[in-house]
Every structure is written in structure tokens, then in C-alpha cells.
A and B are shown apart, each in its own frame.
Chain A
Amino acid sequence: MLVTEKNAMTEEIEQLVEKYGSKRSSLLSILQDIQRKHKYIPDFAQQEVARLLDIHPVEVFSVISFYAFLNTKPKGKNIIRLCQTISCDMQGKSAVAKSIERELGIKFGETSKDNKFTLEYANCVGMCDQGPAMIINERVYYKLTPEKAIEILNGLK
């Protein structure tokens, strides 16, 4: 990380700590904001969060490692989470999954070379009555067909 990038990151985290407070109970909210913006929580950011909350960096890492939506390695700009649980499965999840894999040229768990997409499975996203469903970043898409899923992906920057 460049020094200028580090400074920008420190400033960003200081603002988040100001917004949520420097208490331990603010940790998850702070991490979620960093994750949302950068799509991962770099080592340096973990250290800065730890310093400002006055906890050990390993505590921060420990929390990140617990939650499925937080990660310490870079991910694509758009994180696709296709629901794999039974109701979506019965409504045609596999066909949608295969079409996305084909179209993006990546498998589940991978990130596209241009860093535009990361493809993952999610457990039940609560759209069981309108499956198959997927969440991309913070938006939910439902009643997917292979074709519709690809159209949605094409519409993303």
C-alpha cells in the first residue's frame, strides 16, 4: 500500500470511528462500512481499526473471519451471491448457476480477471417464494432465469 493510500485509509477509518464511537460494540459497523466501499478489509485497515478502538489487531481479524460477508482478501467490484438453499434450488438454481459460470468464465468462489465480479453462493436469502434469487452488492434480484441473470450482470458496471 502506498503512503498516500495509507493516509487516506487512516482518515477514512478515523471518520468511521467518529461516526460510530470508539467502543468495541462499534466494530462490526465500522468493518461493514470498510467492506462495502473497498470490497475487503486490508491488513492495514485492520491495524488502524484496532489502534483506534484500542484492541489487538487479532481481535479484528477474528471478527472478520467469523462473518461470511466480511473478507480480508480483495474481491471483485460486484459480489454476486446466488442463493443455494433448497427452495431456490428446486426453482432452478443450478441452471442459473451454470449460465453465470459460463458467461463470466469463472467458477463459484472465484473473481473475474478484470476484477469486476466475484461469484459466491449464499445460504437462504429469504426470497424462497420468488426464487431463484441472488444478491449483488446490496440489491436483491429474484425469479431468475439463466437469461435474466445474464441480463442483470450485463447491466452492471
Chain B
Amino acid sequence: MRKKDRQVPVFIINRLFQAIGVILVMSVLVFVGLYLIGDPTSMLVSPEATEIERQALRKALGLDQSIWVQYLTFLGNAVHGDFGRSFLTGQPALQLIVERMPATVELVVVAMTFSVVVGVPLGILAGLRPKAPSSKAIMTGSILGFSLPNFWIGLMLIMLFAVYLGILPASARGETVNVGPVALSILTLDGWRHLALPALTLGLAKAALIIRVTRAATREVLPMDYIKFARAKGLRPSRILNVHLLKNILIPIVTVAGLEFGQAIAFAVVTESVFSWPGMGKLLIDSIITLDRPVVVAYLVMMVFFLVILNLVIDILYMAIDPSAREKVRD
């Protein structure tokens, strides 16, 4: 908008300030909301406990103070990277999330890889011959893919593969192998069997989107002069496809895939719930239901930062690749 924002460093600082603003607004909301809605100690304390024991617990968790004091304490600690301890487990909230992160990231990476591997060829196909029945089928399929809710697709896959055919497990993570501190499923066959359905669920919706983007990009590139020129030169169609077309549709695809990676991390909440996948999305839902405020807040703060940085990186990359985009990118 304003001229000065177009300089790169200012624009980065602006984004970070925005992120902090969002975090402040959101954390106040979550603090006050969860405070008003229920009493987290009621789930924790034994029903046999006396009032004195209950009070002691409230005090230990800092819940005996006014909500604003609690919030300011939180802010003070958060600046030092301490998001408090989970009410439920007593573990530092951030640690709980970080422990669950590999499972989510693994799921999302596999799903995104699947969506690109399936989506790009189908999208090119649909873009090359927009009138062919196969292309129409692909496009209709992609409407289904991104409009049907994620959990619904998961449900149908469970019904087909786990209940009816009985060939794939419907939940949990299966055998994992530790690579350093990180446990991975993709190194065992059992891990893959467990990963298959959740990754497919998450990946199908993303593939639908990649198809659409690829098709649109293909159709935009095809009438360009360099393609016409290459054709006129008599280059083999496969070479035109591989070199000239792919190279030019790559930018929008990479951009969208990058943005969708962030979306997929958030949407893993749903997939993980359907398949009891022990990732951080499942942790968020459980924490929302048990009003485990420190975990909810820590998760959201992390997600905001992650998404802001992801968007930032994509924009910077975009500007590096395509200088003319600098005018388009808004802070």
C-alpha cells in the first residue's frame, strides 16, 4: 500500500508486528473465554477432595488469581519462552506440543507429497485437453475432493479399507523407529500401513487443489509465445512438456503447495481426531475439551508464528523468483 512498506526489511518487521498483535488479541480471547466457560480443576481433582485441597490445587495452578493477573503472569513468562505447564499433566505446555510435532509433520509431509505427485500430472492432463471427457472427470473429481469435509473422506476410507476389506488399520501410529530424538513411522512397513489412510485423507483434498492450480497454470502458459515457438521448432511434445511447460507452471504450484502446507498442519486436527493419530492436532482438541488452557494457548501461539513465517518465506521466495511480483505482494 504505502510506498515505504515495499522495502523488504520493513515489510518483514511489519509482518512480525502483525503476528504479535494477533497473538495478543487471541491470547486475551482464549484466556477470558476458557476462564468463563468452565473449571479445569473439576476434571483433575478427585471428587473426594476437600475444599482445602481444591483451593490448594487452584493456588498451585495460579487459578486463584484474577484473570488479568493470570494473563499478565502468562505474558511475562511467555516473553521468556515459558508458556506454563499443562493443567492436566504438569508438563511444560511447549514440551508437550513439541513431543507431538513429529507425528503431525510426518503425516502432513507424506500427504503433501502424495498430493503433488498425484495432482500435478492430473492437472497438466486436464489443462492440455480441457474438452476431453477424462479432463472433465478429473475436474469433477477435484470438486468432490476439496468440497467434501476431511473427516467424511476419512470415514469412508475407514469403512472401505478397515471395515469392509479389513486390510488397513483404522487408527493409531503403529511401529515407529527413533531417528535421534524423533520417532518416525515411515521407516517400517507397519508404520506405513498406519500412515496410509490418514495421509490419503489429508492428501486427497490437497491433491484436488493442486489439480486446479496446475490446470489453470497450464492453460495460462500454453498460449504463450515460447510454447508456440518451441512447437514451431518441432521439439518433441514430451520435451515441451518437461522443460518449457513444467518450468513455467512450477511457480504457482510451489506457492500454493507451500501455503497449503500450513493449512494442512492446521487441518491435521481433523484427520488426527478421526484416526487417533497422536499428533499435536489431537492434543489441541483434547486440550480444548478439558480446558487445558496453557496447552491451547501455546499451540495457537506456535501456529500463528509458524503460519506467519511460512507466508513470509513464500512471499520472499516469490519475490526472488519473480521480480515483477514485488509490486503485488502486500504486507
Q: Do A and B bind each other?
A: no
B residues adjacent to A (C-beta < 8 A) = none
